[in-house]
Structure 1
Amino acid sequence: MQLPQILYKYTSASTAFLVLENSRLRWSSPLLFNDVAEFQRMPRFHPRVADSYQQLSASIVAAVFDGIELDEARLTHQTLLLLNLVKLMASKGHIAREDILKSLAGEVSDADQKIEMSLRDYVDNLGLSTARVLCVTSENDNNAMWGNYADNHSGCVLGFRHIAKYDTPLQEATQVSYSAERPIVGSGLDFLLYGNTQELRTSTLHAIFYTKDQSWEYEREWRVITWRPNEAEKQVSDFLFFPEELESVTLGVRATVETEQRVRQLLAVKYPDASLYRMELIEGKIEPNLLI
């Protein structure tokens, strides 16, 4: 999906004041998120690796006896050795195809569990306390988000634009995907044939960092991730943004007059190009109304 022109951050009024006064946004470690499964949903193979050993044997035998092509340049070292061994056995002409298949029979029943444990160890070694994530959304009129993240409609939504000439972080925002089941990153057979390829590593990390359970789909989240290895004890970092990045502030339906006055003052002094809206309840639906 194309990166939205504006991405939004829901906040309480007090947090909005701090953000606007200091021109800083807080990026947090996933250890602080309200979703305890953040960065903990390890992706999977389908079919599973444990169920693919027979397919691996059949693929190797088919390559030797039927001329079915395998991309030998991409095969793992172990699979290439096995392929060459089968070629040698077949060249002798004394071993039947069925006997070769039987000789190759075997599996590792806990292969998928071992892979998952290895992934968990990898993520743990990255140090989640050093990860910094900025969570934003593509919608500023999400009723549930207003209730959950903007102090029950009394807070604000800050709208930010990404600016190419400043190389602003939001240019790197990635859309979060939602699924009821753990994401699939490939087939067990491909993993046995080609191993831990760069493509697989990329899709695996994407699945860990940018997928969430389907119950969070209402958030319509986009996120930017960076790492601060020297700031593990803090678990948060407050990063500056350019005044030009602030496109708008939207006040909640229940935002007080005092909140509106304070936001107006801050915009006038520091963000003259930003618009100010207030959400209004119209026929049971919240809609933004332009104030300035």
Structure 2
Amino acid sequence: MLFKYLPIERLDVIEKLSIRFSPFKSLNDPFESSPLIKTQENIDGTYDRMIANTLKEMDNIWESAPDEEKTPENKKILENSKNSFANEIYKKTNPHSFGLSLIEYLKYLCILSLSRTNSNILMWSHYASNHEGYIIGFHDSHAFLNQRNLRGEIVKPKPVIYSTKRPIFNETNNTCLELFCNKSIEWSYEEEERIFLNHVDDRRSYGKDAYGMDIVLSDIPIEAISSIYLGSNSNKDTEERILNALKYHNISIPVFKASISKSEYEIEFEKL
């Protein structure tokens, strides 16, 4: 089972049975939209050789120039031109720049972030309105969590790998899913798994978010939902809205209310 933490202002997710797969620029970790990728040209030294050959040609032109043009001022211009050329090539071909370009190219690739745990105190605080929100539990075997890619292949939820070192990927040997399933060790408490979806039709957009990205919602199949968990600080209105939504959609699933343990740093659940 996988879980989606939601704030109280997103009660519409269960009421309308629709949820957003977010583009990378809209995620709360700025490193998400800035992967480091080495191009094949960087790996095999093509760019290094091109820079070296060009700089050599510029030096050859200087050597063949008339003596009267070999002034200190012109020499300074030459060195500045060489540096500018090398820097410009590096800016366009370094792993950071190439990663930014890839994000622009893959602007329709979006993700739904889920968690393997429903009882993380930080997650309840950060993503569920300080324990006032709720969680939707999903059957991880349902087709909704096993989307098909553009080649028609089924892609299971991908666990995020957490690391202290920022990885640099190879454009030819790493897949997109590998590129976008790596985060800093500081995020490891989330126990995140990701579902990927291509939103190629922006005509379904409900508007733009704060980052200028389309807000496209996907329908949630009733059969994909396994359970609901109300936060320990959730009020009666939240509870009633969720129960009414389940009744309206004829969804028969267990609903639990969280509480704070009286003896441990733990969250406990009791079925309503």
Same fold (TM over 0.5): yes
Deviations 1:270-292 (A, max 9, x none): 2432110011111232112111x
> Does the CA contact (< 8 Å) of 1:157 and 1:249 recur in 2?
yes
> Does the CA contact (< 8 Å) of 1:244 and 1:271 recur in 2?
no
CA drift at 1:115:
5.4
Q: Which residue of 1 aligns with 2:191?
A: 220
Q: Which residue of 1 aligns with 2:52?
A: none
Q: Which runs of 5+ in 2 are unaligned?
A: 46-88, 148-155
Q: Does 1:116 align with 2:95?
A: yes
CA drift at 1:218:
1.0
Q: Which residue of 2 aligns with 1:10?
A: 5
Deviations 1:151-183 (A, max 9, x none): 00000011111455xx32346211111111122
Deviations 1:103-161 (A, max 9, x none): xxxxxxx99x9451573255144143x23211111110010000000000000011111
Of 155, 159, 163, the residue aligned with 1:175 is 159
Q: Which residue of 1 aligns with 2:231?
A: 252
Question: What CA distance in whole angstroms lies between the structure 2 residues aligned with 1:235 and 1:245?
Answer: 25
Question: What CA distance in whole angstroms lies between the structure 1 residues aligned with 2:177 and 2:19?
Answer: 24
> Does the CA contact (< 8 Å) of 2:160 and 2:181 recur in 1?
yes
Q: Which runs of 5+ in 1 are unaligned?
A: 1-5, 52-109, 187-195
> Does the CA contact (< 8 Å) of 2:133 and 2:231 recur in 1?
yes
CA drift at 1:31:
1.0
Pairs within 5 Å for 1:1-150 = 6-15=1-10, 17-42=11-36, 114=93, 116=95, 119-120=98-99, 122-128=101-107, 130-150=108-128
Structure 2 counterpart SS, 1:201:
coil
Q: Which residue of 2 aligns with 1:158?
A: 136
CA drift at 1:215:
1.1
TM-score scaled to structure 2, two decimals? 0.67
Question: What CA distance in whole angstroms lies between the structure 2 residues aligned with 1:262 and 1:209?
Answer: 35
Structure 1 counterpart SS, 2:33:
coil
Deviations 1:193-228 (A, max 9, x none): xxx65xx132xx334211111111111111112222
**CA RMSD, 1 decimal:** 3.0
